[in-house]
Amino acid sequence: MGDRQMKPSSKSLPRLLGVVAVLLAGSCGVQAGETGPSASSGSNHSGQVIGGGVRATTTTSTTLPELPEANVEIVGDDGSELNRVIANAVVDLETFWEEQYPQIYDEPYKPLSGGLFAIDSSTDPSGIPCAGNDISELLNNAFYCPPSDAVVWDQEQFMVELADQYGAFTAAVVIAHEWGHVIQARSEFEAPSVTFELQADCFAGAWSSQLMEREDSAFELTSTDLDRALAGILSLRDAPGGTADDPMAHGSGFDRVGAFQDGFEHGPSRCAMFDAEDPMAFQWPFSVEEFETGGDLPLSTSQDSDDILDLTFPALDSFWSEALPQIADGQQWNPMGEPVAFEDGDNPSCNGEEVSEFVLFVCIPDRFVAFEVGSVFPALYEQNGDFGVATLIATQYGLDVTDQLQSADNEVAATLQGDCFAGAWAQALLPDETGASAFDLVLSPGDLDEGVSALLSFRSASDRDRQGPGFDRVKAFRTGVMEGAISCLEIEGN
Each residue of 126-166: pLDDT tens digit?
Answer: 999 999 889 999 999 999 999 999 999 999 999 999 999 99
Model confidence pLDDT, tens digit, residues 334-377: 999 999 999 988 999 999 999 988 889 999 999 999 999 999 99
Q: Do residue 256 and residue 358 come from a single domain?
A: no
pLDDT over threshold 50, residue 38? no
**Residue 455, pLDDT above cutoff 80:** yes
Q: Average pLDDT of 35-64?
A: 39
Q: Is residue 35 one of the residues assigned to a domain?
A: yes
User: Per-residue confidence at 67, pLDDT binned at 50, 70, 90?
Assistant: confident
381 falls within a domain: yes
Residue 457 lies in a domain: yes
* pLDDT (mean) for 319-333: 97
3-state secondary structure of 83: helix
Residue 301 has a pLDDT of 59
> CA 319 to CA 333: how far, in whole Å?
10
Residues 221 and 346 placed together within one structural domain of the fold: no
Q: Check residue 49 and give its pLDDT.
A: 57
Listed ranges 204-213, 296-305, 429-438; the one with the highest mean pLDDT: 204-213
What is the DSSP track for 392-424? HHHHHHHHHHHHHHT--SSHHHHHHHHHHHHHH
What pLDDT does 392 receive? 96
Residue 115 shares a structural domain with residue 36 = no
Please indicate whether residue 273 or residue 58 has the higher confidence score (pLDDT).
273
475/330 same-domain check: yes
Supply the pLDDT for residue 303: 63
Closest CA to 177 of 204, 209, 142: 204
Degrees to nearest 5, angle at CA 265 with 259 and 270? 65
Q: Provide, rounded to the nearest whole percent, the portion of the chain with pLDDT above 90.
A: 67
**Same domain (yes/no): 87, 40:** no
Lowest mean pLDDT among 202-211, 250-259, 270-279, 302-311: 302-311
DSSP run (H or E) holding 457: helix 447-457
Domain count, the chain: 2
Q: Do residues 6 and 441 lie in contact, with contact meaning Cβ atoms separated by under 8 Å? A: yes
Band of the pLDDT at 42, cuts 50, 70, 90? very low
Same-domain status, 400 and 332:
yes
Statement to judge: residues 154 and 94 lie in one domain: yes
In this structure, the answer to whether residues 247 and 391 fall within a common structural domain is no
Q: 233 and 303, same structural domain?
A: no
Residue 469 lies in a domain: yes
The C-alpha R_g of the chain, in whole angstroms, comes to: 23
| Domain limit, last residue, from 253, 271, 289 | 271
CA-closest candidate to residue 474, choices 425, 420, 394, 426? 420
Q: Which helix (H) or strand (E) holds 152?
A: strand 150-154
| Whether residue 381 sits in one domain with residue 245 | no
Q: Which of 142, 105, 90 is nearest to 268 (CA)?
A: 105
5 DSSP β-pair partners: 442
Q: Does 408 score more than 80 pLDDT?
A: yes
In terms of domains, do 239 and 310 share one? Answer: no
pLDDT digits (tens, 9 = 90+) for 216-243: 888 888 889 999 999 999 999 988 788 8
Say if CB 170 and CB 163 are below 8 A apart. Answer: yes
Quickly list H helices, 249-307. 253-266, 268-271, 288-293
Residue 291 domain-assigned (yes or no): no
d(CA 222, CA 470): 12
What pLDDT, on the 0 to 100 scale, is given for residue 465? 75
Query: Which of 271, 305, 334 is the last residue before a domain boundary?
Result: 271
Q: Does 284 reside within a domain?
A: no
Does 127 lie in the same domain as 47? no
For range 404-429, the mean pLDDT: 95
Considering the domain boundaries, does residue 279 fall inside one? no
pLDDT at position 305, please?
66
Is the pLDDT score of 27 beyond 50? Answer: no
The answer to whether residue 109 is domain-embedded is: yes
Contacts of 194 (CB under 8 A, 6+ apart): 244, 245, 246, 249, 250, 251, 255, 281, 283
Print the domain residue range for 256.
74-271
Please give the pLDDT value at position 240. 79
C-alpha to C-alpha distance for 394 and 313, rounded to whole angstroms: 8
